[in-house]
Amino acid sequence: MNQPVLPDNPTLDSGALYSLLAAQHGDPFSLLGFHHNEKKGVLRVLRPDATSVRMVPKEASFGSPTLLSKTHPDGLFEVLFEGVTEKINYHLEITFHSGEKQVLEDPYRFERLLSSFDTHLFSEGQHWSLYERMGAHLCRVDGVDGCSFHVWAPNARRVSVVGDFNKWDGRIHTMRKLAECGIWEIFIPHLVEGTHYKFEVLNAEGHVVLKSDPFAFFSQNGIQTASLVFNLDRFRWHDNEWMEARRHRELLKEPISVYEVHLGSWKRKPEDQNRPLSYHELADELIPYVKKMGYTHLELMPVAEHPFEGSWGYQITGFYCPTSRHGNPDDFRYFVDKAHQAGLGIILDWVPGHFPKDLHGLSNFDGTSLYEHADPRQGEHNDWGTLIFNYGRNEVRNFLIANALFWLDQYHIDGLRVDAVASMLYLDYSRKPGEWIPNAHGGRENLDAIYFLKRFNEICYERFPGIMTIAEESTAWPSVSRPTYLGGLGFGFKWNMGWMHDFLKYMSKEPVFRRYHQGDITFSLIYAFHEHFMLVLSHDEVVHGKGSLLNKMPGDVWQKFANLRLFYAWMYAHPGKKLLFMGGEFGQWAEWNHNQSLDWHLLASESHDGLSRLVQHLNWLYRSEPALFDQDDSYAGFQWIDFHDADHSVVAFQRISAQGRVVVFVINATPVVREGYRVGVDSEGFYEEILNTDAQTYGGSNCGNCGGVWADGQSWQGRAKSLVLRLPPLAVVGLRWSPPTPASQVQEELDALAKTPTY
């Protein structure tokens, strides 16, 4: 039996002892725990919060429990063993200052956790399931339940896990550094789900800072910034049918109508301190509403954890955790699951372009510019007060791409809309001469960011067929939505910011002046098929003093609503997928305020309710009429009939499906009824009026064409036939062509009718 020997003095030299007790030692695993050679062994435990420590062997053959000697008043306990030639298995019985006793496993008796293959993939920037290793994971090691922790901080002098479980004392759970990759790790036995924690980092500058876990799955929000241990393996999905069908979808040829939402202000509970809805409440209220309105997708402004409400989620500190403002991660999964079961896709705003300078976040993480560029000419967004990711670093690209895959994998997200792509592509974005550094070729293009975006798109589409990536890109950068093998950036779609600016400019003009701005509404068709576009009226257009969409419209109240109805119908008739920000569907008067609910009481008004019904009808018409979506990216799907009548502010065009279905649209952008207005068409037959934004049910004057018109034989505007229409004021008329019934079919129907008995 091995006999313990209690040392009278610490067995460590003064340098090692000081660095250990001062929490400055970079390799505590080499000192703490049980160590032995061919002659003897030593067990060291550092517990500043303990009055005594007893070693309890798990095998009876090793001997009886042994009280360790307290060899330093700061909490170093030791015991020597003579003749020990192999590793021993033991518990620690610890008596704390409070008098409480606990039997615990020693975290320093466990071997390395992360494999060399994991570290190799991370170092080369290709560990796509990195979130399965980094951060906090409940697990079982050597038959012991607990939690593993991994964090990348290559230049830190020491990293510890701290929390309520160790009274936030960084001396107790100091981590092991894996020198080949700069990752620190530790397995802490007995920790359970819900444990609050942070990383205490002795950084390269010699300062001790508390950092939230960059890979945390759950986190506090606002001024409370602790990370929380969370088990992502518990939730059971019920959206198999949706996920399987998604793999085979051809989104370019499908209708996509997106309702953009800020979850914190869509609807609130004023009777409960004006709190936002929970994920479960949103599943019960938001999803049925969006389904009723006819949208195909919900786009959520960033749900990743962020401390400042006023950033709307665009200044993220917790890239891997949905905000706890509405519930826990499984609550958010419940929301996504319910959306899929209702037939709705979920798109997330994703923000890989920058991050805030909050001390608990990624900024200066280990005392160096780890995630960001060191040079402010490359590393700071002066407009936003944020930092720019260093896309040239393998580990940073891996962090971001793995994050995108994490949302697609763990949360079944159907699309990622990438924020502020233009700011990533250009080194001189919003910078004056001398404030930026050219690339290796002397140009302004950010070559590292370009490579990152291409790689991001390639990996996402490769691993998750059927999803979509969308670029918010406001410049003329070519081939944003073309495959990388054709020289593009690889996005599925690009926001059409040009269309939005031109059409808002036109619609804000008094109708009498619109004749001078005809080019604003025709220019978009010059480039409409150069990219796979999404037409957007997003949150950006209803903030910062820009006014609501309804308030941008000229004229009295009736004309404002008529103009907005015209604008929406024109948007749905124009080639491109669609997006509308919440509140726009019923004509919110006020600018969007993230701190309060939308003005739902407005729906009691006929005008607001009528606008809502129009949007609902537009979504239904858009989804049911292939001419409006299946050739969105081709000139074959669009033809101008006439755009020269600027004097009357009238334009006419037709949309054509791949199967030859035709819908003619005529827009009258003045408040004057145009009687007997002739429009050229290609074919004879009946043109059914399937849309009239002046209909009474939408709040209009009910001026129209009594359900449709027949084409006559007069050629007009270079076309063989023509229609004579009554154009309602400030309105869009849509007419679906039906070919004339052959005479033989007419005779057959008459014969059948004659044989029908009458009573």
What residue has token string 């004339």?
A: 740
Count the alpha carbons within 13 Å of 160 in the hemisphere toward its beta carbon.
23
Average pLDDT over residues 467-483: 96
Question: For residues 554 and 590, is the Cβ–Cβ distance under 8 A?
Answer: no
Alpha carbon distance 242, 229 (integer Å): 30
pLDDT at 317: 96
Confidence check: pLDDT of 622 > 50: yes
| Residue-wise pLDDT tens digits, 405-464 | 999 999 999 999 999 999 999 999 999 999 999 999 999 999 999 999 999 999 999 999
pLDDT at 13: 83
CA distances 581 to 541, 576, 704, Å, are 9, 16, 29
Confidence check: pLDDT of 281 > 60: yes
Confidence check: pLDDT of 63 > 80: no
Structure tokens at 681: 């068409």
Alpha carbon distance 353, 425 (integer Å): 10
Question: For residues 626 and 661, is the Cβ–Cβ distance under 8 A?
Answer: yes
Q: What percent of the chain has pLDDT over 90?
A: 88
Sign of CA dihedral 684, 689, 694, 695: positive
Domain with CATH 2.60.40.1180 in the chain: 628-743
Own/partner long-range contacts of 590-593 (Cβ < 8 Å, ≥24 apart)? 590/548, 591/542, 591/543, 591/545, 591/546, 591/547, 591/548, 592/262, 592/265, 592/539, 592/542, 592/543, 592/548, 593/265
Strand spans (E) along 47-182? 50-57, 66-67, 69-72, 76-82, 90-96, 101-104, 135-141, 144-152, 158-163, 176-178
pLDDT at 89: 85
Cross-strand partners of 397: none
Average pLDDT over residues 117-127: 96
At 95 the three-state DSSP class reads strand
Alpha carbon distance 424, 514 (integer Å): 36
| Residue 43's pLDDT band (cuts 50, 70, 90) | very high
Longest Cα separation, the chain: 118
| Residue-wise pLDDT tens digits, 148-157 | 999 999 999 9
16 — phi, psi (to 5°)? -65, -40
Count the alpha carbons within 13 Å of 545 in the hemisphere toward its beta carbon.
0
Q: Which helix (H) or strand (E) holds 261?
A: strand 257-261
pLDDT at 429: 94
| Residue-wise pLDDT tens digits, 716-755 | 999 999 999 999 999 999 999 988 766 566 567 666 766 7
Sign of CA dihedral 436, 439, 441, 443: negative
Average pLDDT over residues 87-104: 91
| Residue 84's pLDDT band (cuts 50, 70, 90) | low
* Among 317, 540, 278, CA closest to 420: 540
Q: Is 476 exposed, middle or buried (0-12, 13-18, 19+ CB in 10 A)?
A: exposed
pLDDT at 26: 84
Cross-strand partners of 468: 415
CA distances 688 to 11, 574, 637, 665, 734, Å, are 94, 19, 19, 11, 8
**Residues in contact with 433: Cβ distance below 8 Å, sequence separation at least 6, in sequence order:** none
- Which of the residues are catalytic? 419, 472
Confidence check: pLDDT of 757 > 70: no
pLDDT at 4: 54
Q: What is the architecture, at CATH level 2, of domain 628-743?
A: Sandwich (2.60)
Average pLDDT over residues 59-82: 85
> Cα 534–535–540 angle (5° rounding)?
110
Alpha carbon distance 92, 509 (integer Å): 78
Alpha carbon distance 374, 629 (integer Å): 46
Cross-strand partners of 662: 656
682 — phi, psi (to 5°)? -85, -30
Question: For residues 208 and 201, is the Cβ–Cβ distance under 8 A?
Answer: yes
Domain with CATH 2.60.40.10 in the chain: 4-108, 116-228
- Higher pLDDT, residue 52 or 89: 52
Q: Is 621 exposed, middle or buried (0-12, 13-18, 19+ CB in 10 A)?
A: buried
**Residues in contact with 244: Cβ distance below 8 Å, sequence separation at least 6, in sequence order:** none
What is this structure's pTM? 0.94
Average pLDDT over residues 159-163: 97
Alpha carbon distance 623, 355 (integer Å): 38
Please give the class, per CATH, of domain 4-108: mainly beta
Confidence check: pLDDT of 758 > 80: no
Alpha carbon distance 176, 158 (integer Å): 9
- Give the other-Cβ count within 10 Å of 443's Cβ: 12
pLDDT at 752: 72
Structure tokens at 205: 């500058």
Mean of pLDDT over the chain: 94
| Residue-wise pLDDT tens digits, 337-372 | 999 999 999 999 999 999 999 999 999 999 999 999
Confidence check: pLDDT of 690 > 70: yes
Q: Which helix (H) or strand (E) holds 710?
A: strand 708-710
Whether domain 255-625 has CATH 3.40.50.970: the reply is no
Alpha carbon distance 504, 520 (integer Å): 9
| CATH number corresponding to 116-228 | 2.60.40.10
